[in-house]
Amino acid sequence: MRTQAVKMVREYKKKTDREFPEGDLRRAVEDVLNNIGSLRKVSERYNVTKSRLAIYVKRAREQGIENISLKPNFKHRQIFSPEMEQALAEYLLKCSSMFYGLTPKKTRQLAFQFASRNKLLIPDSWATQAMAGEEWFAGFLRRNPELSIRKPEATSLARMTAFNKTVVGEFFGKLKTVYSRHNYEASQIFNLDETGVTTVPPVEKIVGKKREKQIGQVTSRERGEPNPTQVGIICANENALPPVWIFPRIRFDEHRMMSGAMQGSTGLVNKSGWMTRDNFIKVLQFIQRNMRCSKNNPVLLILDNHESHLSDDGITFCKENGIEVLTLPPHTSNKSQPLDRSVFGPFKRYFSEAANSWMMTPNKTLSIYSLAELCSKAWDRAATPENIKSGFRKSGIFPFDRDIFQEHEFLCSSVSDRPAPDVITNQSGGSCIFAETENLDENLIPATDGNRAADETSIPSTSVTGTAKSPLNISNFITPDKISPYPKAEPRKPMRKGRKRGKCMIVTDTPEKEELLERKKPPPKKVKEIKRKVLVESDSSDEEINEELTKDSSSEWEEEEETVQDTHDVEKGGFIVVKVPGKTPFPGRNYVARVERKLFDGFQVRFFKRMIPSNRFKITEEESSFVTFGEVIAVLPKGIEDRRPRFKDSIYFNADLTEFSLT
């Protein structure tokens, strides 16, 4: 005989709507015990079933009516009391707010440990699997509607711990200072940020064959190619400037790249498609042209601490044109930046929809030359007055509200909260080291065998054998945070020397500008240890040099240790050898470059390419690039121009360059 598997119903639905209030049931039992009426007449009088009334009358005669409970029986079968379930729910909510939420499986394991530590009666299946059952977990979620299974957003540790009261308070303090200077109106407050747009957007769900393992959807190309960058600029008066795009190209083809673009938008180019210092100055010029800002009509620009935003030339341009720059605290833009709060999310969604619709046409690929049209449509739908207004309001920038963020929003940074360090003396050498003060919160002490036994002694002993029942009301029990303490960072180690962390600052203020430029200078100690080679011109003629270089013979050149100041003093038009790092595992390459401009932390150069197999060099068609002082490995003598027709527009150096393996 074939048997069918019976599926357990998690939520039983009553077949009748009859209810027996505790007061009516108690009066009915008392009437029967006092012989006021028969069992049948009393059940009809109080609308109670005869069988149920007979059960409670029997219990009252055996145990006494004051010793029995007239509530439904399923309350007695609960493993945890309402107070214990509430404590467990609050623990899960706090862990989720700290960005260390528990998975359903971890929650079931914690429930088993919670019941075991409090010596509650549990099913045998819990002890076998060392976790609570799925049926209990489903009922637990049903009894606590504030809980649900959610898919969290991946958040970096730096972003999680950076959003704290101290950092946010400093930002609002500087924002208040800026507002008090010029009394900015809504039309003078701007927010700028960049976001990447890809030619391979995520595909949407489709209708396909059931139980098919792989279902494909057409895309334009494989991932891995450089993506363009869109610069978004919004204003607190609910308006948005046309977008600016940075295309991953060397030459700007306006006819193809800007086809179908929004009126007033502009395009820039860079080999990687990222924002650079030179391109950011062009973006500032774009803002100045659109807003007509000046020292008499200043505007406030709020942006992040990206290196391209903090160049010396960019800050100087802002000061000369009435653009006051306020940077956001590092790693807090997801909360404090209006564009991230309410504009970029809808923009990415609308762009993906437009890109997927574009790809529905057969044999129609999506390239960077189609992005301007699609991005313009998506930006027009995303940068609406409602979204812009909501972004500025939720971030507390406009209207100004320094108390916009609630206490629970700072729980994510509580993981890194540490007591103030004490300075103690090392017994061996007498040097000072840092040590954390003792943690006074017992809830943060991990449960060990010693304190576990101490905790359990304060709990009333309850038998878990035979017909023992779980206690309904426990006024003192081991809470979940003592079983599994809240996450807490380890004691802070002594700080090592390294790059200083970024911070919120008013970049256009002179003191903070000077501090920023001073911070960007390389440390003197490290720079002095760097060795540079200065090549000295040889007395050999051009023909002799060519022969010697091909034979790998050595010309007259000297090697000497050079200080940093010597390396920094390369004049405009001078030639250097630059080490350009390559991607792992490929090593870098050496190039000849001509100094176009000297900056505070490097040079603006134009690269030359070697004319193989000769040892002459010709300038490339690439735009000027930035190199740091650390990438300069040699200073070359003055380049000699070769006037022969076959070597037109090429130069050579009267020195031995064989050891550099120039490209």
User: Where along the chain do its domains lie?
Assistant: 22-71, 78-154+442-491, 159-201+224-411, 526-660
Peptide bond connecting 399 to the previous residue in cis, omega within 30 degrees of 0: yes
Residue 432: per-residue pLDDT: 34
- The CA distance from 507 to 210, in Å, is 58
Specify the range with the lowest mean pLDDT, choosing from 136-150, 216-230, 471-485, 527-541.
Answer: 527-541
Q: What is the pLDDT of residues 306-333, one digit of tens each?
A: 989 999 899 999 999 999 999 999 999 9
What lies within 8 Å, CB to CB, of 158 at 6+ separation is: 330, 331
- The CA distance from 162 to 654, in Å, is 55
- Which secondary-structure segment (H or E) carries 218? none
Instruction: Tell me the pTM.
Output: 0.62
Please report the sign of the dihedral spanned by the C-alpha atoms of residue 104, residue 106, residue 111, residue 116.
Answer: positive
Residue 199: per-residue pLDDT: 85
> How many CB atoms are closer than 10 A to CB 253?
13
Residue 620: per-residue pLDDT: 85
The closest alpha carbon to 117, from 471, 447, 468, belongs to: 447
Residue 20: per-residue pLDDT: 65
- The CA distance from 551 to 658, in Å, is 10
- Which secondary-structure segment (H or E) carries 554? none
Q: What is the 3-state secondary structure (H, E, C) of 605-658?
A: EEEEEECCCCCCEEECCCCCEEEEHHHEEEEECCCEEECCHHHCCEEECCCCCH
Measuring CA to CA, how many Å separate 228 from each of 182, 349, 372? 36, 17, 10
> Is residue 236 predicted with pLDDT exceeding 60?
yes
The closest alpha carbon to 443, from 79, 91, 81, belongs to: 91
Q: What is the pLDDT of residues 66-115, one digit of tens each?
A: 888 777 655 556 899 999 999 999 999 999 999 899 999 999 999 999 99
Q: What is the pLDDT of residues 188-200, one digit of tens each?
A: 999 999 999 988 8
Which one of 3.40.50.300, 3.30.420.10, 1.10.510.10, 3.90.79.10 gives the CATH number of domain 159-201+224-411?
3.30.420.10
Q: What is the pLDDT of residues 584-624, one digit of tens each?
A: 555 678 888 999 888 877 888 888 888 877 778 888 888 88
- Residue in this structure with the two tokens 């020292």, named with its chain if needed: 295
DSSP-based three-state secondary structure for 491: coil
> Is residue 471 predicted with pLDDT exceeding 50?
no
